[in-house]
Amino acid sequence: MKAHTAMLPRLSVMMFLQYFITGSWMVTMGLVLSEQGLSSIIGTAYSVGGIATILSPIFIGMLADRFFPSEKIMGVLHIISGVTLWMVPSQIQAGNGAMILVLIFLHKLLYQPTGAISNNIVFNSVLDKEEKYFPIIRVFGTIGFITVGLFIGQMGLSTSTMTFQIAAITSFVLGIYSFTLPNTPAPAKGKPFSIRDLLFLDAFALLKDRNYFVFMICTMALFIVNTFYSTFASVFFNAVGFDNVASIMTIGQMSEVIFMLLMPLFFKRFGVKYMLLFGMLGFILRALLLGFGAPDVVFMIMAIALYGTCQDFIFVTGEIYTSQKADKKIKAQAQSLLKTFTWGIGMFIGSFIAGNIFNSTVATQEAESLSKWTVFWMYPAIVAGIMLIFFALFFKDKNRKSKQEHAVDESIASNH
């Protein structure tokens, strides 16, 4: 299927709504729970989402690869997950921590596969043009994230449970809209089903490639690092003294828009390896600025702005790299595998570790907590530094090398 401009607006609206949902509640959930006297479950609330992501995306990806059109699966999942989000505020107000965790788990069980499925719909629609078109479409997801963040911040809802209801309504809308998306049929529909399919061995076979294995390990570790920020940044910036935390944090998404639009150029100029290395450096600098720069406003804004480098050069680059590595028949499973290792295993481990470190250091303090926050942010800085060295030593960008060799061959041929 050839990409054509008439399809781009439809896919862009999908991405806008997809990330509008996450931006509605996930950034400020820690702050909402803290304001309601439930700070002890912040880490767990994020980690149950990780458990859900370990369980569901690959299975749902297999359904999209073998049985049902991706857009129909996405529609059903969003409608049901919207129901679970609508029920969260009443449980927070009742202080029912256990039910909050159950509902977050159920929502993530349904929502997380839609990230991989939405990517699959795009990749299927812009086949063989991922580097050119995917960043352009994906940037509308970031715009959606920014839009809802600004709305929540300016309306004074950063500490309100209404954020979950906003997310729920958007989920219903996207669920209905999904049924109008470009048809993305199951590429392996009708073929014999085997134990290999049930165990997702075709997707896991990608890990036999040493470079992809190194990439996956580093990406998972960096998602652990990222979870420190996604889980506790809103609490941290509130402690620093920022008002309208949700609005302030959209600076990160604004920078993400800029880097997203530059990605096609960066891909062409630097290739996968150096883009990932730039992203890892961004993680290190962000943690150092948060740890040693508080409460200086300039340093805090610089740290937030590095979100674009971290997000685009690691996770979006990783989605494109995965699409390039996977055979067409397993693209949905491959994207789901990536989600399982990052939003699943990475978030679960990261939330558990970050929650325990927060509870044992920052949460034990009152007025003099900034020095403890410095200790908190040093953990992700160290892990990101180790991953940068490991990745630089062991990852080889074979695709870039082959492209360079092809370019040299063409140059030689043109001179004869």
Question: pLDDT per residue over 8-18, tens digit each?
Answer: 888 999 999 99
d(Cα 169, Cα 158) in Å, to the nearest integer?
Answer: 18
d(Cα 8, Cα 14) in Å, to the nearest integer?
Answer: 10
Sequence-separated contacts (24+) of 402-406 with Cβ below 8 Å: 403/271
pLDDT for position 278: 93
Q: Max CA-CA distance within the chain?
A: 78
**pTM (2 d.p.):** 0.72
104-108, 211-215, 267-271, 285-289: range with lowest mean pLDDT? 267-271
Distances (CA, A) of 266 to 128, 131, 139, 280, 335: 18, 10, 15, 15, 22
- Please count the other Cβ atoms lying within 10 Å of the Cβ belonging to residue 227: 28
pLDDT at 385 over 60: yes
Distances (CA, A) of 402 to 266, 268, 396, 407: 17, 13, 11, 9
The answer to whether 235 and 295 have CB atoms below 8 angstroms apart is no
d(Cα 217, Cα 342) in Å, to the nearest integer?
Answer: 9
Domains by residue range for the chain, with CATH: 8-182+199-399 (1.20.1250.20)
pLDDT, tens digit (0-9, with 9 covering 90-100), for 390-405: 999 999 876 555 444 3
Cis status of the peptide bond prior to 295, with omega within 30 of 0: yes
pLDDT, tens digit (0-9, with 9 covering 90-100), for 87-115: 999 999 999 989 999 999 999 888 988 88
Q: Give mean pLDDT, residues 36-57.
A: 81
d(Cα 43, Cα 59) in Å, to the nearest integer?
Answer: 26
Mean residue pLDDT across the chain: 83
pLDDT at 322 over 80: yes
Question: What percent of the chain is predicted at pLDDT more than 70?
Answer: 85
d(Cα 376, Cα 380) in Å, to the nearest integer?
Answer: 8
d(Cα 312, Cα 385) in Å, to the nearest integer?
Answer: 18
